[in-house]
Amino acid sequence: MIEIRGLTKRYGRTLAVDALSFDLRPGVVTGFLGPNGSGKSTTMRLILGLDMPDAGQARIGGRRYRDLRWPLREVGALPEARAFHPGRTGRDHLAALAASNAIARRRVDEVLDMVGLADAARSRAGSFSLGMAQRLGIAAALLGDPQVLLLDEPVNGLDPAGIHWIRDLLKSLAAEGRVVFVSSHLISEMALMAEHLVVIGQGRLLADTSVAELSARAASLEDAFLELTGTSTGFRRAPGGSRETPGGSGGLQRSSGGSSPRPAPRAAATAFRSTGQRGGRRAAFLTRQGGRR
């Protein structure tokens, strides 16, 4: 399980992630949604130790990512599509990662075949299309057969057949009892892929609920998402630390004694939690993936 508690990150005067707290549990695909600039990628980077939080913590099985001895065996990550040396072949890229985490060489060919890159394995990765680069990144995430997968926009660049493939793959991995956390801008795809959703806006938690519960608020999941995030740009900090919107009511919260969500009070946007829930930067990430001895 991944536990996020009070995660906060500021870049100069910009508050990118604001006291974010949620849990990611095994056995389901959890979608990570939010408007552009809402803090999704930053949150992923904080979980992976690529950026340091100003406050709060992210724990994977009770430990920070940087404290994992063999990171690739425990956490598979796709923080960006082209996190590889363009001069290396796809096979050589995966072989180097495998060697750094004491993963058997045969696993390289297994994941190349799994992602459909067996025939292109000896081509230089720099020549790969975006879709092929995504597949190589997914192969790297799967290399250590980890119990946790964190994928940032994995469907970018994939054709319809590729999107169908990644959807089925991630659902099958979650069904095996893994934690699968996937960010995307494709709301319609999240409706098909995910069972649970974490939605943020301006770095703040807006919803932590099932796809079914959020979809029930409107004619479609997309409509519910737009309704929920439409007021997130109007947040301001009220005295005493509560969050207010000037006349908005887009947030959701639990009713005090029941399981059904209800609109938040007019002057407050409270996160909706389901009652049933449970270059240099690339090099830095690859360095962090290396084994701890």
State which H helix or E strand residue 74 sits in: helix 71-74
Residue pair 204/20 in contact by the 8 Å Cβ criterion: yes
Q: Classify 267 as helix, strand or coil.
A: coil
Residue pair 285/100 in contact by the 8 Å Cβ criterion: no
One domain, residues 33 and 178: yes
One domain, residues 18 and 42: yes
Question: What is the pLDDT, as a whole number, of residue 231?
Answer: 62
**Mean pLDDT, all residues of the chain:** 83
Residue 203 resides in a domain: no
Residue pair 78/281 in contact by the 8 Å Cβ criterion: no
Q: What is the pLDDT of residues 3-13, one digit of tens each?
A: 999 999 999 99
One domain, residues 285 and 265: no
98: Cβ contacts below 8 Å, ≥ 6 apart: 72, 104, 105, 107, 108, 143
Question: What is the pLDDT, as a whole number, of residue 232?
Answer: 55
Number of domains in the chain: 2
Q: Classify 98 as helix, strand or coil.
A: helix
Percent of the chain clearing pLDDT 70 (strictly above)? 78
Which comes out higher in pLDDT, residue 288 or 195?
195
**C-alpha span between 131 and 155 (Å, rounded):** 8
One domain, residues 133 and 156: yes
Residue 175 resides in a domain: yes
Residue 206 resides in a domain: no
Residue 204 resides in a domain: no
How does residue 285 score in pLDDT terms, banded at 50, 70 and 90? very low
**C-alpha span between 120 and 128 (Å, rounded):** 9
Q: Classify 124 as helix, strand or coil.
A: strand
One domain, residues 121 and 257: no
Question: What is the pLDDT, as a whole number, of residue 230?
Answer: 86
One domain, residues 36 and 105: yes
- Looking at residue 83, which CATH number applies to its domain? 3.40.50.300
Host domain of residue 116: 2-196+280-289
How does residue 240 score in pLDDT terms, banded at 50, 70 and 90? very low
**C-alpha span between 25 and 1 (Å, rounded):** 5
Least confident of 101-110, 264-273, 275-284: 264-273
Residue 72 resides in a domain: yes
- Is the per-residue pLDDT at 283 higher than 70? no
Highest mean pLDDT among 205-209, 246-250, 276-280, 282-286: 205-209
One domain, residues 19 and 70: yes
- Is the per-residue pLDDT at 148 higher than 80? yes
One domain, residues 103 and 218: no
Least confident of 69-83, 112-126, 219-233: 219-233
Strands (E), the chain: 2-11, 14-24, 29-33, 55-60, 75-78, 148-152, 179-183, 196-201, 204-210, 236-237, 243-244, 252-254, 261-263, 272-273
One domain, residues 120 and 85: yes
- Is the per-residue pLDDT at 108 higher than 80? yes
Mean pLDDT of 159-172: 94
Q: What is the pLDDT of residues 250-275, one digit of tens each?
A: 344 333 333 333 333 332 334 445 44
One domain, residues 153 and 233: no
Mean pLDDT of 189-200: 95
Mean pLDDT of 236-263: 35
DSSP 153-221: STTTT--HHHHHHHHHHHHHHHHTT-EEEEE-S-HHHHHHH-SEEEEEETTEEEEEEEHHHHHTTSSSH
User: Angle CA(194)–CA(67)–CA(155) in degrees, nearest 5?
Assistant: 25
CB count within 10 Å of CB 118 equals: 15
How does residue 277 score in pLDDT terms, banded at 50, 70 and 90? very low
Question: What is the pLDDT, as a whole number, of residue 290?
Answer: 52
Strands (E), 54-144: 55-60, 75-78
Question: What is the pLDDT, as a whole number, of residue 185?
Answer: 86
**C-alpha span between 217 and 148 (Å, rounded):** 30
